[in-house]
Amino acid sequence: MKARSVLFWATLLAATSALAEDWPQWRGPFFDGSTTETNLPTQWSGTENVAWSAPLPGTSAATPVIWRDSVFVSSPDAKKELRLICLDRATGEVRWQKVVAAGDREEGLNNTASPSPVTDGQRVIVMFATGELTAFDFSGQQLWQRNLVTEFGKFANMWMYGSSPMLYRGKLYVQALQQNPVPPEYPHAHDGRPNRESFLLCLEPATGKTLWRQLRPTDAVNESTESYSTPIPCENSPGREILVVGANYLTAHNPETGAEVWRFGGLNSRNELHWRNVPCPVTVGNMVIVSAPRGDPVIGIKAGGRGVVTDTHLAWKSKDFPTDCTTPLIYQKSLYVLDGDHQVMTCRDPQTGETKWQGNLGVREIFRASPTGADGKIYCLSESGTAVVVAAGNEFKVLSTIALHEGPVRSSIAVARGHLFIRTAKHLLCIGSK
């Protein structure tokens, strides 16, 4: 396993298996898009290195999650129902599927099934933009369900709610950064309650009981108050913290109480009204990496501090090929940033921001899925369904380009137990030896 004592998942995975890792949430076992899995394919086709292909009832940006021999994926279906599906990892056969909610709809290329499920090996928890937050055991028995829309109002996000729930050290975290009051041009957010609060919610995974709810204030306005990112943990400060990015700020919260510990501002340098956040932050060493919206800088922030740290904890910033939608990757102590609009990958030193190399992926397609690091490679997936495999390390090199088609594709590639799990618009593919 990686020589990291920092993450809860690492402890669980070590106890589960010394030889293989799972992919328990959308950015993997280390919350940074990486895994220590090896012996993964560089090349595949419709028949070569395909262990199985399972049809899916609908398209979604939700990334599959894997634990031991179970694969969980959320999806809409033709009836606009919202489902959680459990597949056998070895064969791709459906073990069970449950209708969790109804009323799928689309805004742009997003739908109500954008959030990814999350699992801790005991239960799997799924959330949809309709507000249903539901837990199942691995046999498909529902453990509990809450509807956050019923409790707090319909989510006021232009492209609908897209944050994923996050499990960390025995607690479940859900963020909602949204616009207030509800704009009249957001018909999907109207429910007779004009006002909305942005918050970070902490729940007990076994019961769904609220442990705390922390309001998240901002001086941002209009669409810039919104965020589609997912909270992540940070263990490099004096104490463990939960990081939330959006509404012009990165904030760090006490995981036991939700209290805000510090905040870093200036993520909307021009005070634009429509600069919403999409990428999640990532951490490495004593550094937090944040992507400001709409092509504004990628920023390195020194972890820790108290109060407002905007003027004291900036380490570096760079506008050289930033990212608007894809979350950066930390892999083998390097930072990889994918500019999905210009198809450019940049490798940086995360401590200094120094550019090690840049290269064009060679595919004139938009990338919205975030890059995945494993086995000395970086796996990228375009909206049109083209996979590009890049060598990780000291120089840029494209190892292979594979046209999978079946777009639109916005789900990031998951890696677990010697295989890649790739979601297209119609199928879930398991790539690797049979």
Integer CA distances (angstroms), 277 to 20, 157, 224, 338, 376, in order: 33, 11, 8, 16, 29
| Rounded-to-integer distance, Cα 375 and Cα 68, Å | 19
Q: Of 5-19, 175-189, 203-217, 335-349, where does mean pLDDT reach its minimum?
A: 5-19
Mean per-residue pLDDT, 35-52:
94
Question: Position 287: which residue type?
Answer: M
| Rounded-to-integer distance, Cα 237 and Cα 235, Å | 6
Mean per-residue pLDDT, 33-46:
95
Cα angle 354, 356, 361; round to 5: 125
Mean per-residue pLDDT, 163-174:
98
Residues 6+ away with beta carbon under 8 Å from 333 = 284, 350
- Residue 159's closest CA among 222, 60, 227? 227
CA 308 to chain centre: 26
As beta bridge partners, residue 23 has 66
Mean per-residue pLDDT, 17-32:
86
Mean per-residue pLDDT, 229-234:
97
Tell me the domains of the chain and their CATH numbers: 8-37+58-324 (2.140.10.10)
pLDDT at residue 260 tops 60: yes
Q: Are 135 and 123 in contact (CB under 8 A)?
A: yes
pLDDT at residue 5 tops 60: no
CB atoms inside a 10 Å sphere around CB 300: 23
pLDDT of residue 6: 43
| Rounded-to-integer distance, Cα 14 and Cα 2, Å | 10
pLDDT of residue 218: 96
pLDDT of residue 306: 94
The count of residues in the chain is 434
Mean per-residue pLDDT, 294-319:
93
| More confident: 13 or 187 | 187
pLDDT at residue 193 tops 70: yes
Mean pLDDT in the chain? Answer: 93
SS in 3 state form for the chain?
Answer: CCCCCCCHHHHHHHHHCCCCCCECCCCCCCCCCECCCCCCCCCCCCCCCEEEEEECCCCCCCCCEEECCEEEEEEECCCCEEEEEEEECCCCCEEEEEEEEECCCEECCEECCCCCCEECCCEEEEECCCCEEEEEECCCCEEEEEEHHHHHCCCCCCCCCCCCCEEECCEEEEEECCCCCCCCCCHHHCCCCCCCCCEEEEECCCCCCEEEEEECCCCCCHHHHCECCCCEEECCCCCCEEEEEECCEEEEECCCCCCEEEEECCCCCCCCCCCCECCCCEEECCEEEEECCCCCCEEEEECCCCEECCCCCEEEEECCCCCCCCCCEEECCEEEEEECCCCEEEEECCCCCCEEEEEECCCCCCCCCCCEEECCEEEEECCCCEEEEEECCCCCCEEEEEECCCCCCCCCCEEECCEEEEECCCEEEEECCC
| More confident: 347 or 109 | 347
pLDDT of residue 43: 96
Give the model confidence (pLDDT) of 68-80 as tens digits.
999 999 999 999 9
pLDDT of residue 239: 81
pLDDT of residue 269: 79
Cα separation of the two ends of the chain: 24
pLDDT at residue 12 tops 60: no
pLDDT at residue 217 tops 50: yes
Q: Are 217 and 197 in contact (CB under 8 A)?
A: no
Q: Are 175 and 213 in contact (CB under 8 A)?
A: no
Q: Of 16-30, 205-219, 222-236, 393-407, where does mean pLDDT reach its minimum?
A: 16-30
Percent with pLDDT over 70 in the chain: 95
pLDDT of residue 237: 62
Q: Are 406 and 27 in contact (CB under 8 A)?
A: no
pLDDT at residue 19 tops 80: no
Give the model confidence (pLDDT) of 269-292 as tens digits.
788 888 899 999 999 988 999 999
Give the model confidence (pLDDT) of 320-340 as tens digits.
888 999 999 999 999 999 999
Give me the sheet containing 282-284, strands edge to edge: 282-284, 287-291, 298-302, 314-318
